[in-house]
Amino acid sequence: MDSATSWIASLKAGSRGSPWLICFPYAGGGSAVFRSWPSLLQKETRLCAIRLPGRETRVKEPPFRSVEPLVKELADVLSQMIDGRYVFFGHSMGALIAFVISREFRRQGVPLPDVLIVAGAKAPHLPLPRPPKHDLPDPLFMDELRRLEGTPKEALEHPELMELMMPMLRADFALVETYRFEPEAPLACPIVAFGGKDDREVSISDIEAWRLHTTSTFSHRVFPGGHFFLQEREAEVVAEVEKYLALGI
């Protein structure tokens, strides 16, 4: 498996020239998070999802525990793949990765996304709302997973499966919790921020604070649901994302 194939899960092919929609999963998630999106998208789109180490076909690879080395490697893969207009979409951890890659693209002189769509994520300059969780003892870490409601109940009740998943989940938490924001100029691409009305992790003001990271246009949309409104309101989220495909704002 070559580098691009290992990182990129192609979910919907489109003709050359159709826009790319590149999706980044939340902590503990993989490309399967977006498996229903092809049937929901109406426009011709080249849809792909990022497949991170430590899960799915890359389950035997060690997961990244910090965002910077991940972004260095992934940015090289994406910059070679993208051959036209594109939109980034990331949820929670995925939003942070998409943001940091956009900054890396700017440093490399790679064109920025038409739109950076961030969902369920506080603006990157804001402090963590709670103490880090990635190094908690297993029982307390499991309690945190249950509280967040992002890990399927079936998995949480399957000790052997959780033993396999735990290193990846801890690494994803560490990736987010060890990120240290460094001030840079705002991005020149539009930013759209999505939030969940009942999200206990990310407030509406946390979502609105993303406006500080663009010199272009900013808008935000609040969906019914909690932190994982991406799953609860999937069709609505996809319809909203589709408005921005190669259209600007």
Q: Residue 66 has what pLDDT?
A: 95
Respond yes or no: is residue 92 known to be catalytic: yes
79, 92, 203, 205: the active-site residue? 92
The CATH number for 115's domain is: 3.40.50.1820
Residue 24 lies in a domain: yes
Q: Residue 51 has what pLDDT?
A: 95
Structurally, the chain folds into a number of domains equal to 1
Residue 140 lies in a domain: no
pLDDT cut 70: percent of the chain above it: 91
Residue 133 lies in a domain: no
Q: Residue 90 has what pLDDT?
A: 98
CA distances for 179 relative to 21, 107, 128, 164, 206, angstroms: 25, 19, 10, 25, 17
Residue 69 lies in a domain: yes
Nearest by Cα to 113 from 98, 124, 125 = 98
Residue 38 lies in a domain: yes
Encode pLDDT of 32-58 as tens digits: 999 999 999 988 999 999 999 999 999
Encode pLDDT of 62-96 as tens digits: 999 999 999 999 999 999 999 999 999 999 999 99
For the question of whether the overall pTM of this predicted structure is more than 0.75, the answer is yes
The angle at the Cα of 106, spanning 100 to 109, to the nearest 5 degrees, equals: 140
Query: CA quadruple 162, 144, 146, 228: dihedral positive or negative?
Result: negative
Residue 19 lies in a domain: yes
Q: Residue 1 has what pLDDT?
A: 46
Whether residue 235 is predicted with pLDDT greater than 50 in this model: the reply is: yes
Residue 22 lies in a domain: yes
Residue 103 lies in a domain: yes
Q: Residue 43 has what pLDDT?
A: 85
Residue 68, domain extent: 3-127+181-242
Encode pLDDT of 127-160 as tens digits: 987 777 777 777 787 777 777 666 666 666 666 7
